[in-house]
Structure 1
Amino acid sequence: MTTLDTDVLVVGGGPAATWAALRAAQRGADVVLADKGYCGTSGATASAGTGVWYVPPDPEAREAAMAAREGLGGYLADRRWMGRVLDQTYAQMNELAEVARYPFPTGPDGAPLRTGLQGPEYMRRMRVLVRRAGVRVLDHSPVRELLVDRDGAVAGAVGHRRQEGADYRVRSGAVVLATGGCAFLSKALGCDVNTGDGALFAAEVGAELSGMEFSNAYGIAPEHTSVTKTAFYSYATFSRADGEVLEGAGSARGRSVIARTLLSEKVFCVLDRADEPTRRAMRLAQPNFFLTFDRLGIDPFTQRFAVTLLAEGTVRGTGGIRITGDDCATTVVGLYAAGDAATREPICGGFTGGGSHNAAWAMSSGAWAGAGAAAFALAEGRHRDRPVRAAGGAGLRPTGFGAAPSAAEAIRLVQREVLPYDINYLRHGDRLRAALSELDGVWTALREHAFADGSGAGRLRSAAAMTAHARWMYHSALTRTESRGMAKRLDFPEQDPTQHHRVLSGGLDRVRTWTEAVA
């Protein structure tokens, strides 16, 4: 086993991870970044373009930006955090232009337009910045479990280098988890690396989660494809197979109508509400959105095409690892969280979506987590000498003997309880409880009997992470007996003023939930 010593270990390879690694290195820390894929090319951002919550420092514009989604999020957001993210995002987008030389387009007045990023170019430049800062990048090196010292503080991680076929260990003073959310291998574009691994690692060392009920995000995609860029569907007319307009169906408000209809019949769509200038602008803004149509020989502006909904879980949802400070520290000493792995409730409340707030949160929280982890590790200064132990459980250290499901079988069982619209999207307490009963059985089998090492351990650990994620989601959804943000309950369709709080969760073998007041 290869052993590395460093001040800060960053787990992940997307925007949150690269910003964290960059800021930690700029603070004087020695940094290792370990990515499940190839840093700069894997993940949801690297696969597509994304809007960014970029608002110039004009008081009226900032006020409008903060107020725009407060109601949608169930008034669970925090104005102080929203202001911090707007400030940080504004500075970092300008840094991308000035330092990374990102080629932002210009508007008709010649001013740069910095409200969006093309993911492949953005992440290519972030990899360059990280490497220039001296960060050691471990590509194709999924982390398997965290290390902790005798006091329970996080002290590094163990993983596997797929191309070398060997395990590795990193001893560090602090760890930043920027592993993304969990999309349950639904085939949404760029999300096959997003299996919730970071949340599992965090829970195994005692970290808490927040907002896991806000996890039933589904993106619209052409049938049998993976591109879930939903913004352009605001120009769409949805219809049934016979051409009858599907009343109430829409991208922003009306996705549940599409979901209900898909349970029994196909839904079709045409982007016929976009005029010619808008069509040209759309192709320039999101060229990859149109690749599928061009390959299929479909003009989406004039020809109908069948659509589906793909689960995006906590990638476009809001829940994640609970953070306890401005530096994105967690409830565990030495552990920090950023991006989609962390809860976005401070800026989104109970509702978010693709890009925009998520993209701003990724770069802002990544920067804060990296700087915080560096400050902590450099202040400690003795992490290389402390005894450590591995903290992983399910899939690594079975507690009993017996037949265990394979990783593929466990994933299939989890997907059966999470991907269907009538369980996860159109939620009802009876169906959630039935699904939880099945998920508890999968978890027990993995925890008690499953084992793999080497390259097989990564897949099994991802299956365990998906199972844990689903159980936190449904326990939290059952705790919130109302409809707020994206956490809607068919059996509790109204918002309850007495539940203006956050739902926290934690635990693995026994999941628990409790609430936290919101000012």
Structure 2
Amino acid sequence: MTTLDLTTDVLVIGGGPAATWAALKAARAGADVVLADKGYCGTSGATASAGTGVWYVPPEPAAREAAMASREALGGYLADRRWMARVLDQTYEGVNALANEARYPFPAGPDGQPLRNGLHGPEYMRRMRVRVRRAGVRVLDHSPVCELLTDTSGAVAGATGYRRQAGEPYRVRAGAVVLATGGCAFLSGALGCNVNTGDGALFAAEAGAELSGMEFSNAYAIAPEHTSVTKTAFYTFATFFHEDGTVLEGAASQGGRSVIARALLQEKVYCRLDRADAKAQAAMRLAQPNFFLTFDRLGIDPFTQRFAITLLAEGTVRGTGGIRVTGDDCSTTVPGLYAAGDAATRELICGGFTGGGSHNAAWAISSGSWAGRAAARHASSLPGGARTRRTAPAGGAGLRPTGTPGPADGFREVVAAVQGEVLPYQKNYLRHGDGLVAALRTLDDTWQRLRATLYAEDGDVVRARQAAAMVAHARWMYTAALTRTESRGMAKRLDFPAQDPGLHHRIVTGGLDHVWTRREPLATASLEVAS
């Protein structure tokens, strides 16, 4: 079978905001860049399918102070003020570049000044694709990566993957790699998230990288029943109802989703956006037209009529855990490997809690920019470049079983098994130590079986690797959640409902066949804020 064989300075894996910012900055730093996306760069992923807020704050001391303080308590005081300031600076620069260089059409506010704290996802990503292509980046669409390559020293040296449309494998030898593959939503059906299966975290762990904040991974979003559009911010205008029509008390509060989750275990829950006045309704339709598409097709007026809702798991797409970064350049513990966007931990700016866009969108712009520049520098420092290095594949589960290979569609059973442990509200959202232990036992058994037997060929290799990545992700999540014997940020424990001052630290995790955790003390600035 023909194999496309490329050599480049920087390989960016992913196709969302973080990936395109990384590719753009690496190319502008003088590097030859290849970007490999699982889908079509500019249209795949959570951002491209909807709108997003952006943590964009002008450089005014009072405004910046308020912005940094706004979510510190919600995040359990695990964020770092120095990183927050860096992200605010880089996001301000990046969003202004979108306006001035890419001519992004920001709407004007009441005072006539452009409103730059929000982006229309499809238009944003269309322009980012154009910018990347104009910078000379070679874009491989519909080309999911399957594993990383490493050299004899253990440094990352590229990746291999599969070109879906061409029906052939490919290899890219690179001086440095940026992982910007997004988080993991476990194929829950949330809009734009079915490309987010935790692949990058698996690749990183196989190369020896660490993860952090994986306990902050039980994000669920509200959606109309049997649909995929998750725009939870709009539900601040909602009244929620029991199946019998009475109001579901507490569902509209800050912790309302746990109330909804408990109710959904027993009955249907209904909703009506009856607290939005005419002005708010018009603004909502303008900001998120796709939110109303389902209602319009069904002939439902969500502002006056009740509709059934559900909760969809968004995992580390809307959580804050991910690959641990070890420096200001978003480097990892593995030489030549950088992490950006939702693939990387967002604890540094969010602690244990984040919302939908806002901080995540700012982190994508900032971490992507830093990782891209750093990857270019690293690649330029290699004597002889990428072509001269001897490489070896780093992948394991789903590619190289340790026992007798199982059926070609064995990934289907694996996906069903992991979804059975992470999608139910009573296991993942309403966490209890006993439930976590039981779920981990099942997930560990699933991992052992897939490690021994999971194998696929051609395009199904991608599905097998996705299945392995989701199981690995779930095991890291639940192991970290068991280690954090308290409730902090979004990591709530029913058996430990209070916050424990003795656990004011981050939890680093890693490993595949044997998952481990360790404590990571906070920087001085974070400790001062908490005190």
Alignment TM-score, normalising by the size of structure 1: 0.99
Q: 1:230–1:251: 8 Å Cα contact kept in structure 2?
A: no
Instruction: After TM superposition, give the deviation of residue 454 of structure 1 in Å.
Output: 1.6
Q: Does 1:215 align with 2:217?
A: yes
1:91-490 correspondence to structure 2 within 5 Å:
91-250=93-252, 252-382=254-384, 383-401=386-404, 403=406, 406-490=410-494
Distance 1:130-1:402 versus aligned 2 partners, 3 A rule: closer
2:86 to 84, 87, 90: 84
Q: 2:406–2:455: 8 Å Cα contact kept in structure 1?
A: no
Q: 2:213–2:345: 8 Å Cα contact kept in structure 1?
A: yes
Partners of 2:161 and 2:185 in 1: how far apart?
22
Instruction: After TM superposition, give the deviation of residue 465 of structure 1 in Å.
Output: 0.1
Counterpart AA for 1:380: L
Q: Does 1:55 align with 2:54?
A: no
Instruction: After TM superposition, give the deviation of residue 252 of structure 1 in Å.
Output: 3.5
Partners of 2:313 and 2:109 in 1: how far apart?
35
Partners of 2:398 and 2:134 in 1: how far apart?
37
Q: 1:173–1:381: 8 Å Cα contact kept in structure 2?
A: no
Q: 1:203–1:508: 8 Å Cα contact kept in structure 2?
A: yes
CA deviations 1:7-62 (Å, max 9, x no partner) are 00000000000000000000000000000000000000000000001111110000
Deviation above 6 Å: which 4+ runs of structure 1?
A: none
Partners of 1:347 and 1:258 in 2: how far apart?
28
Instruction: After TM superposition, give the deviation of residue 253 of structure 1 in Å.
Output: 2.3
> What secondary structure does 1:65 align onto?
helix
CA deviations 1:340-359 (Å, max 9, x no partner) are 00000000000002100000
> What secondary structure does 2:8 align onto?
strand
CA deviations 1:81-112 (Å, max 9, x no partner) are 00000011111111001111111000121100
Partners of 1:500 and 1:443 in 2: how far apart?
31
Counterpart AA for 2:333: T
Counterpart AA for 2:349: I
Q: 1:506–1:512: 8 Å Cα contact kept in structure 2?
A: yes
Partners of 1:252 and 1:389 in 2: how far apart?
49
RMSD over aligned CA atoms reads 0.9
Quick check: 440-449 or 143-152, which moved more?
440-449
Q: What is the percent sequence identity of the aligned residues? A: 75
Instruction: After TM superposition, give the deviation of residue 251 of structure 1 in Å.
Output: 6.3
Partners of 1:384 and 1:87 in 2: how far apart?
36
Partners of 1:446 and 1:148 in 2: how far apart?
23
Match of 1:9 in 2: 11
Instruction: After TM superposition, give the deviation of residue 149 of structure 1 in Å.
Output: 0.3
Partners of 2:521 and 2:350 in 1: how far apart?
16
Q: 1:234–1:252: 8 Å Cα contact kept in structure 2?
A: no
Partners of 1:71 and 1:477 in 2: how far apart?
19
Q: 2:199–2:466: 8 Å Cα contact kept in structure 1?
A: yes
Counterpart AA for 1:386: R
Partners of 2:332 and 2:93 in 1: how far apart?
25
> What secondary structure does 1:16 align onto?
helix
Distance 1:311-1:465 versus aligned 2 partners, 3 A rule: same
Q: 1:16–1:339: 8 Å Cα contact kept in structure 2?
A: yes
Partners of 1:482 and 1:176 in 2: how far apart?
34
Counterpart AA for 1:395: G
Distance 1:117-1:251 versus aligned 2 partners, 3 A rule: farther
> What secondary structure does 1:424 align onto?
helix
Q: 2:11–2:176: 8 Å Cα contact kept in structure 1?
A: yes
Q: Does 1:496 align with 2:489?
A: no
Partners of 1:94 and 1:279 in 2: how far apart?
29
Residues paired across the two proteins, number: 519
> What secondary structure does 1:380 align onto?
coil
Counterpart AA for 1:448: A
1:73 to 72, 75, 89: 75
Partners of 1:169 and 1:517 in 2: how far apart?
39
> What secondary structure does 2:43 align onto?
coil
Partners of 1:296 and 1:272 in 2: how far apart?
18
2:511 to 488, 507, 510: 507
Counterpart AA for 1:399: T
Partners of 1:338 and 1:148 in 2: how far apart?
19
Note the residue ranges of structure 2 that are not aligned, 5 or more in a row. 524-531
Q: 1:394–1:464: 8 Å Cα contact kept in structure 2?
A: yes
Partners of 1:202 and 1:403 in 2: how far apart?
25
Partners of 1:381 and 1:265 in 2: how far apart?
64
Instruction: After TM superposition, give the deviation of residue 381 of structure 1 in Å.
Output: 4.0
Partners of 1:15 and 1:466 in 2: how far apart?
22
> What secondary structure does 2:149 align onto?
strand
CA deviations 1:216-238 (Å, max 9, x no partner) are 00000000000111111001000
Counterpart AA for 2:426: D
Quick check: 432-441 or 176-185, which moved more?
432-441
Counterpart AA for 1:168: Y
Partners of 2:410 and 2:35 in 1: how far apart?
29
Match of 1:36 in 2: 38
Alignment TM-score, normalising by the size of structure 2: 0.97
> What secondary structure does 1:82 align onto?
helix
Q: 1:231–1:251: 8 Å Cα contact kept in structure 2?
A: no
Partners of 1:424 and 1:476 in 2: how far apart?
13
Q: 2:405–2:455: 8 Å Cα contact kept in structure 1?
A: no
CA deviations 1:62-87 (Å, max 9, x no partner) are 00000000000000000000000001
CA deviations 1:350-407 (Å, max 9, x no partner) are 0002100000001110000000100110111422101110000001111112646711
Note the residue ranges of structure 1 that are not aligned, 5 or more in a row. none
Partners of 2:397 and 2:390 in 1: how far apart?
23
Counterpart AA for 1:469: H
Counterpart AA for 2:65: E
